[in-house]
């Protein structure tokens, strides 16, 4: 990490570099007090278990993380390779797979490293970067799930107008909006965080730099940050969830009016898969960010975060592959093509 100081406000430009990626992260603070100590690294306490159990957890979480990458990678590969899946529904599903892999990768690798290392620290700038990426990918997944719900609503409730409404231009605009809005909203949270003075404590009782844990590092009032976080949670969780529920009530009514048993079964299959993913994601997110903190111990919140950032992304491809006939058919065609070559 390299830091350059500029006057009059001591603006630090932190450059986090690896052999493959370069992250440029900017933050500023005012040196109003010369004796103020600014933290440079943070200790992630993690799960605080016996060393032998830490090795077991390392193998267990590594297996789940591998399943997450492989499962979502297979879904993404099938959609790219099979022309029959080049439809709006599966385009959005491919975005969901990308988000899930990125989402898990923003926190799990550092967690795995800390499980096998004695010094469980992370520099301050990468910690804030981790918070930013986690928020951005979480919001993106929420919005992609809502867009997928809208796609299913149009397909089932307005089938004759589906190709007109959900054309490629609309799909591109919707997907791009999800990504851009998510990163901008995450940037708002990070900008508010970086206005705070961070002079200790240096310990986070979590396995990653979760935003509410980062608030505790500040030696100033975080009331504004918490208010904005709650408002953002309402914006991206409660509102979209209400839209999803209303849409699925209308979808259910439309499915029950379908005369063909095969058509009804196919509609239930695709919608039930999406509804399972929506329930898992929104349920854990609302409990995590909107239920009062006094309702859960810190260990319970860690487990919720683990489910939210690791288990949920791993379950998504399983749900879509096991309950979706078109995905299973695409997998069989790809495997058959590989055998015949």
pLDDT digits (tens, 9 = 90+) for 32-61: 343 344 778 888 887 777 878 888 889 999
Residue with structure tokens 């509410």?
Answer: 212
- Return d(Cα 311, Cα 3) in angstroms, integer: 37
What CATH superfamily is the domain 44-333?
Rhodopsin 7-helix transmembrane proteins (1.20.1070.10)
CA atoms of 234 and 303, how far apart (whole Å): 22
Nearest to 104 by CA among 56, 159, 153, 141: 141
Q: What is the DSSP string of 159-224?
A: GGGHHHHS-HHHHHHHHHHHHHHHHHHHHHHHHHHHTS------EESSSS--HHHHHTT-SS--HH
Q: What is the pLDDT of residue 300?
A: 73
The more confident residue out of 314 and 267 is 314
- 208 class by beta-carbon count within 10 Å (0-12 exposed, 13-18 middle, 19+ buried): buried
Query: What is the reported pLDDT for 340?
Result: 64
Which is more confident, 74 or 35?
A: 74
* Residue recorded with tokens 């492989």: 70
Q: Which uninterrupted H or E stretch holds 280?
A: helix 261-289
**Strands, E, within the chain: which ranges?**
5-6, 11-17, 22-28, 41-44, 121-123, 203-204
Q: What is the pLDDT of residues 233-267, one digit of tens each?
A: 888 888 888 888 888 888 888 888 877 777 677 77
pTM confidence score: 0.80
Q: Where in the chain is the domain with CATH 1.20.1070.10?
A: 44-333
Look up residue 184 and give its two tokens: 């901008």
Place of tokens 């997998």: 331
Return the pLDDT at 35: 37
């Amino acid at each position: 990490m390299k830091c350059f100081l500029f006057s009059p406000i001591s603006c630090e430009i932190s450059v986090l570099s690896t052999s493959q990626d370069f992250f440029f992260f900017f933050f500023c603070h005012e040196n109003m007090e010369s004796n103020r100590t600014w933290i440079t690294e943070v200790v992630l306490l993690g799960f605080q278990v016996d060393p032998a159990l830490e090795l077991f957890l390392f193998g267990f979480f590594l297996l789940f993380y591998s399943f997450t990458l492989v499962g979502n990678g297979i879904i993404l590969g099938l959609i790219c390779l099979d022309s029959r899946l080049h439809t709006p529904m599966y385009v959005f599903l491919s975005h969901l797979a990308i988000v899930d892999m990125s989402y898990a990768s923003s926190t799990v690798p550092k967690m795995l490293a800390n499980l096998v290392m004695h010094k469980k620290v992370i520099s301050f700038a990468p910690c804030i970067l981790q918070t930013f990426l986690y928020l951005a990918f979480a919001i993106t997944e929420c919005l992609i799930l809502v867009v997928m719900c809208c796609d299913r609503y149009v397909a089932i409730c307005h089938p004759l107008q589906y190709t007109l409404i959900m054309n490629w231009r609309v799909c591109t605009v919707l997907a791009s909006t999800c990504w851009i809005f998510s990163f901008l909203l995450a940037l708002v949270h990070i900008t508010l965080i970086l206005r705070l003075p961070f002079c200790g404590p240096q310990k986070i009782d979590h396995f990653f730099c979760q935003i509410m844990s980062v608030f505790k590092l500040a030696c100033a009032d975080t009331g504004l940050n918490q208010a904005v976080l709650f408002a953002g949670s309402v914006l991206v969780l409660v509102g979209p969830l209400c839209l999803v529920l209303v849409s699925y009530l209308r979808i259910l009514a439309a499915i029950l009016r379908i005369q063909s048993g095969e058509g009804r079964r196919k509609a239930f299959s695709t919608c039930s898969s999406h509804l399972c993913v929506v329930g898992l994601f929104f349920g854990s997110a609302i409990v995590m960010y909107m239920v009062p903190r006094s309702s859960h111990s810190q260990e319970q919140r860690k487990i919720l975060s683990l489910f939210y950032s690791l288990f949920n992304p791993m379950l998504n491809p399983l749900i879509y592959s096991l309950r979706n006939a078109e995905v299973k058919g695409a997998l069989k065609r790809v495997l058959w093509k590989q055998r015949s070559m």
